[in-house]
Amino acid sequence: MNVARNFQFVTTALIVGACALWVPSALLRAQQPVAVAKLVSEPSRITMRAGETQTYNIMAYDAQGKVIPDAQVRVGGPRLAVAFNNGQVLAYKAGSYTAVATAAGANGPITLDIPVLITWPALSTLDITADSGHLYTGITLAHTARGSHADGSPRSGLVVTWRSSDAAIATVDRFGNVTALRSGAVAITAEAEGLKATRRYVITTNPVTSIAMGIAEEVINTGDVIHLVAVAKNAAGTPVKDAAMTWSYTYTPDDTTVAPGGPGIIDWGRFTANAPGRFTLLASSGNVTARKVLEVKPRDVVRRITVTGRGSINNTHTSDLWPWTGKDGRDYCVVGTWGGDGYALIFDITDLSNIIKTDSIKVDARTINDVTVSPDARYAALSREGASNRINGVVILDLAVPAHPKVASTFDQELTGGVHNMFATNDHLFAISGGQKYVIIDVKDLKKPTYVSEYQYPNARIHDLWVRDGIAYSAQGGVGTVIVDVGNGKYGGTIEKPKLISVFKINSGHEIYPYYQKSTGRTYLFIGDEEMSRTGRVWEGTKYSLAGPDGKPPKNGIAQTSGGYTHIVDATDPLHPRKVGRYHLEDYGSHDIIVEDDILYQAYYDGGVRVVDVSGELMGNLADQHREIAVFKSYDPDGYTPNAPFVMNAMPWKGHVLFTDFNSGLWSAKLEPKTKLVTP
């Protein structure tokens, strides 16, 4: 749960600690006694083709112009476009970008902009795919041209020229939509960068004379998903099975002054409404049309949320939390600190109106970013970043006496790059190593944890993972979501030999949560962005600094801002995931995610903690559909940064919502029962 992941922070020959956003102040004093005054990139600008790898070097100089050989420098570029790793830059996507190198100077960060120009390699193949259905007269079918390079990688943003061999028989527009005008033979050609692809048709008379609607619903709420069902028939009443069907709608709003620009969505044979009103669904096949009118009512899920207790932390930033019920029958919560010199705090939360700190645990780290507890409450784990010996790793806590956990062991094999996130099962701990891979650790014996296996996907920056039913879902910048069999067995993997199931390319690589929805039998992945830089947006945000000259976050500083949102992917078939929706608020950025009983508990940084209805099939933007149940922003005048809500993590717990704020510590809140209107 890093608070600055819009850029991928990685190592060059001058960088130490790939996952650490900044090194401890003690290390800065010991290893970098001279402040950086200037940064120079070799080369000064980077030009390469997508798919290529190139070396680079960042030189740091002091005020006298002397090279600082061990300066701490970080370099980052736009996610999914370019990545910097161990002195190499990897190009993913064509475009003109700016990478930023940063080091600690005498009076604040020293930065250097590095121009990056990436071009595409030559196309190797060009293919045409068409929507399903026969091209009868009067029918329009969408066509897509897809190009790939010699290594098989797809070309995005391909510019294609479309042509018809006989426009009197069929026309094609610049988007590849082919409309059949009369019977006859025709060839449709796509051309791009000297390559051509052709699709041939023999057009015949359209036999469709009627359409039978198969939609039973009459009244729905905003956000409800309707499956679009209609059958095209010929004059004899026989279904025309290969008839193409086009769906559209008309809309009459409840209130024209508040009607949105995009009131409804049609996609993958489904419809959902974002706004209340009257929708007329239209099914067309050629010149034959059928219609169905739906009444859409507002989704009424809003509830009041009330703070019940606090575990205030205002002497350092707060990171993650994890609650559990101890062997003594009482409830506890472990909370990590960010830039807090390696302290984890233990709270008794049995009475959520009277949260009491029972202990603190000091480990060798600058930041304990992630904390977790095994489902059986036998052990807890603390992740370490910025350790004095740079080895980092994880710390295993014995929870036999839950109010006062004891360090059972440390484990650092293959974890020397810093551990940012973890996932715990009763017998195994999954720990992310330096953003490169996850290591699977056997923790049956807490005093002697052992290495089991690991999994690394090439050219990616892994940030978070969650394991469910023997499948590991991980958010990896540069590639998207990586799904691996780590013991499910259906896809050939075991805990000792993980096996890749699939990779879903998505512009997000930060947080992930897999949720099995009982009512539909679907598995949804909620995948969160994290973007600290809002450059180029209408609201660009504040110039917040994560570290001052001493390497520590400044107290009483400027409120931080964020961007990005939560993507929703249907991964019911992990071999073929598809994106179906999102939870998107423009002025804030998403972070940790938990879903329980069809309710999303979302840490939305400066947008506060947000509770959202995710019942039923999901489609479109949940915020547009008024699925938000409650929102609370944790203002605290005594916070590390006063009155600056920045929620890191949120979890449901025994009828309450527990959450940590970066600036003010642990909070407990409760959703009040929905008020029922009583008529006299």
User: What is the torsional sign of CA 613, 614, 616, 620?
Assistant: positive
Each residue of 238-268: pLDDT tens digit? 999 999 999 999 998 877 656 666 789 998 8
Q: 22 versus 308: which is more confidently predicted?
A: 308
Per domain, the residue ranges of the chain are 25-119, 125-203, 210-286
Does this chain's domain 25-119 share its CATH topology with 125-203?
yes
Interstrand relation of 195-203 and 184-192 (parallel, antiparallel or unpaired): antiparallel
Name the phi and psi angles at 629, rounded to 5.
-90, -45
* pLDDT for 20: 29
d(CA 392, CA 18): 12
Find the range with the poorest average confidence among 72-76, 409-413, 608-612: 72-76
* pLDDT for 7: 31
Query: Once rounded to an integer, what is the mean pLDDT over residues 507-512?
Result: 88
Question: What's the order of all strands across the beta sheet hosting 170-172?
Answer: 125-130, 140-148, 177-180, 170-172
Considering the segment(s) 25-119 as one domain, its CATH architecture is Sandwich (2.60)
CATH T-level assignment (fold) for domain 125-203: Immunoglobulin-like (2.60.40)
- CA distance to 71, 104, 202, per residue, from 58 (Å): 10, 14, 61
Find the range with the poorest average confidence among 104-108, 303-307, 312-316, 633-637: 104-108
Each residue of 79-138: pLDDT tens digit? 678 888 778 898 888 999 999 998 888 887 899 999 999 999 999 999 999 999 999 999
Q: Across the chain, what does the average pLDDT equal?
A: 90
Share of the chain above pLDDT 70, in %: 92
Cα radius of gyration rounded to whole Å, the chain: 28
Query: Once rounded to an integer, what is the mean pLDDT over residues 611-629?
Result: 96
Each residue of 33-57: pLDDT tens digit? 478 999 999 999 999 998 888 999 9
Answer yes or no: is pLDDT of 5 > 70.
no
Answer yes or no: is pLDDT of 459 > 80.
no
* pLDDT for 552: 65
Instruction: Kindly indicate the confidence band of residue 479, based on its pLDDT and cuts at 50, 70 and 90.
Output: confident
Answer yes or no: is pLDDT of 678 > 80.
no
Number of H helices, E strands in the chain: 1, 54
Answer yes or no: is pLDDT of 19 > 50.
no
Find the range with the poorest average confidence among 197-206, 255-264, 367-376, 443-452: 255-264
Find the range with the poorest average confidence among 366-380, 386-400, 536-550: 536-550
Work out the burial of residue 679: count CB atoms within 10 Å of its CB; fewer than 13 is exposed, 13-18 middle, 19 or more buried.
exposed
d(CA 457, CA 261): 41
Are 551 and 24 within 8 A, CB to CB?
A: yes
Q: Of 612, 573, 607, 615, whose CA–CA distance to 594 is shortest?
A: 612
* pLDDT for 82: 86
* pLDDT for 34: 76
